[in-house]
């Protein structure tokens, strides 16, 4: 039989101070102590309130920090929604969308400085999750009028758009418990949540979030760039809901709710006069994906290489770039180069070439740098190769050197000339194999 026990969870990081400030000052974990230079390690101990559990953060040693994984989560169960709201205000950053559909409906997720997700959910409702499904509605809109009227105070306005767009419904045991109307806007690449409501008997059960998540997936599948919604400035609960769902305030439409637009004068919401409308939007950034390069893309990748080089290799002259262009074209066509592309909507925004365990090429569209794609490609290389990784970086390209250092690479040598014998010194960098490295994937 096991006696008394306490739990301490340890996380290694390359951003100790930033991570310490995030969990101590913004999340609210109390600092219990710290150490510096202990056998090459620095660290801090934080108490998870009300649990007896500690979170230890360390840096140093010979191993780099782990790459963030969308399923490696720290989940905090708070007692009330008020406590969640207070923590969200302290964190003060835009939520992200968890990979797991359950957490998309039942928690708020935020990235910490390392990129791992912190999830906040509530203990106050111990009822089991609803047996809920969301699907497109094909029946008569009048059958849903009572739901529409929960979200629209003006009969005139409701009549003007009731039959517009598409409607998603949330079903529980074949009973409609919520709906969301999705309509077109003046821009083809945007869609609007025109009307949404949940039956009064099922509040705070994740139905609204499930509907918004379904609408978001639908908009993304249609390659929309943004999802819009408008709500009353006086409706604080609605503003909180949409911001918790990742929407940001876009604009304010003054005097939108007046007798002239079909609303009863001096209407109020929780004591606040109904006057102005707030527009919010959710940016639907396309998901980045990695795949093998296609033969037909060689010309596009050569052009991408040149744009990247011109933006980052300011030590090269025009004649240098002209001389390198045919050599790069030849290298891209060489079967010895294991070529991978990072895409959005299947359009390459970066590419990586591997020769054995060496990252022989890594180039980005200039506008897509510093958006996490480089980490994704290096992580993909690690997954493919399993062992140590090497890379040669132009000594004058300080940004590239700092990028690889941040991923755990270290300079192990220097050559005064590049591979073509030109006077561009190269730094030879290496990252050891992770202690938990998987077996290399078959190519």
Domain boundaries, the chain: 8-122, 132-283, 288-431
Quick: pLDDT tens for 139-194: 999 999 999 999 999 999 999 999 999 999 999 889 999 999 999 999 888 999 99
pLDDT tens digits for range 74-127 = 999 988 777 887 898 899 888 888 888 788 777 888 999 999 999 998 774 544
Can you give the pLDDT at residue 353?
Answer: 94
CATH class of 288-431: alpha beta
Superfamily of domain 8-122: 2,3-Dihydroxybiphenyl 1,2-Dioxygenase, domain 1 (3.10.180.10)
Residue 287 has a pLDDT of 66
Q: Spell out the residues 6+ positions from residue 9 whose beta carbon is closer than 8 angstroms to its own.
A: 53, 54, 55, 56
132-283 shares its CATH topology with 288-431: yes
pLDDT tens for residues 210-267? Answer: 999 999 989 888 878 899 999 999 988 889 899 888 899 999 999 999 998 999 888 8
What architecture (CATH level 2) is domain 132-283? 3-Layer(aba) Sandwich (3.40)
Confidence (pLDDT) at 291: 92
For the segment 408-431, what is each residue's pLDDT rounded down to a tens digit?
A: 999 999 999 888 888 889 999 999
């Amino acid at each position: 039989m096991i006696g008394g026990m306490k739990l301490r969870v340890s996380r290694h990081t390359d951003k100790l101070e930033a991570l310490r400030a995030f969990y101590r000052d913004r999340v609210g974990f109390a600092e219990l102590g710290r150490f510096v230079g202990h056998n090459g390690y620095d660290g801090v101990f934080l108490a998870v309130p009300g649990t007896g559990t500690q979170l230890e953060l360390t840096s140093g040693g010979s191993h780099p920090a782990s790459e963030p994984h969308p399923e490696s989560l720290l989940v905090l169960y708070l007692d009330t929604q008020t406590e969640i709201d207070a923590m969200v205000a302290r964190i003060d950053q835009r939520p992200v969308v968890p990979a797991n559909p359950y957490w998309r409906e039942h928690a708020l997720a935020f990235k910490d400085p390392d990129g791992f997700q912190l999830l906040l959910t509530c203990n106050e409702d111990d009822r089991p999750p609803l047996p809920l499904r969301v699907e497109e509605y094909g029946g008569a809109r009048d059958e849903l009028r009572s739901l529409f009227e929960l979200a629209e105070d003006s009969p005139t306005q409701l009549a003007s758009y009731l039959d517009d767009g598409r409607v998603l419904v949330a079903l529980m045991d074949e009973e409609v418990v919520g709906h969301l109307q999705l309509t077109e806007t003046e821009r083809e690449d945007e869609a609007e949540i025109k009307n949404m409501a949940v039956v009064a008997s099922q509040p705070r059960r994740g139905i609204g979030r499930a509907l918004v998540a379904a609408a978001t997936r639908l908009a993304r599948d249609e390659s929309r760039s943004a999802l819009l919604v408008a709500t009353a400035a006086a409706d604080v609960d609605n503003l909180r809901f949409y911001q918790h769902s990742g929407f940001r305030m876009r604009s304010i439409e003054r005097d939108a709710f007046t007798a002239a637009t079909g609303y009863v004068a001096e209407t109020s919401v929780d004591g606040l006069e109904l006057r102005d409308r707030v527009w919010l939007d959710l940016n639907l950034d396309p998901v980045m994906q990695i795949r093998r390069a296609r033969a037909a893309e060689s010309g596009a990748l050569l052009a991408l290489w040149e744009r990247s080089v011109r933006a980052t290799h300011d030590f090269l002259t025009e004649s240098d770039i002209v001389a390198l262009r045919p050599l790069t074209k030849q290298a891209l066509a060489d079967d010895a180069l294991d070529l991978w592309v990072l895409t959005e909507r299947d359009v390459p925004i970066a590419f990586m070439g591997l020769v054995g365990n060496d990252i022989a090429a890594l180039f980005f569209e200039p506008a897509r740098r510093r958006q996490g794609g480089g980490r994704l490609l290096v992580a993909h290389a690690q997954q493919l190769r399993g062992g140590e990784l090497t890379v040669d970086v132009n000594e004058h390209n300080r940004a590239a050197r700092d990028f690889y250092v941040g991923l755990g690479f270290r300079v192990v040598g220097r050559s005064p000339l590049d591979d073509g014998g030109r006077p561009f010194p190269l730094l030879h960098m290496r990252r050891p194999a992770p202690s938990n490295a998987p077996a290399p994937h078959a190519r």
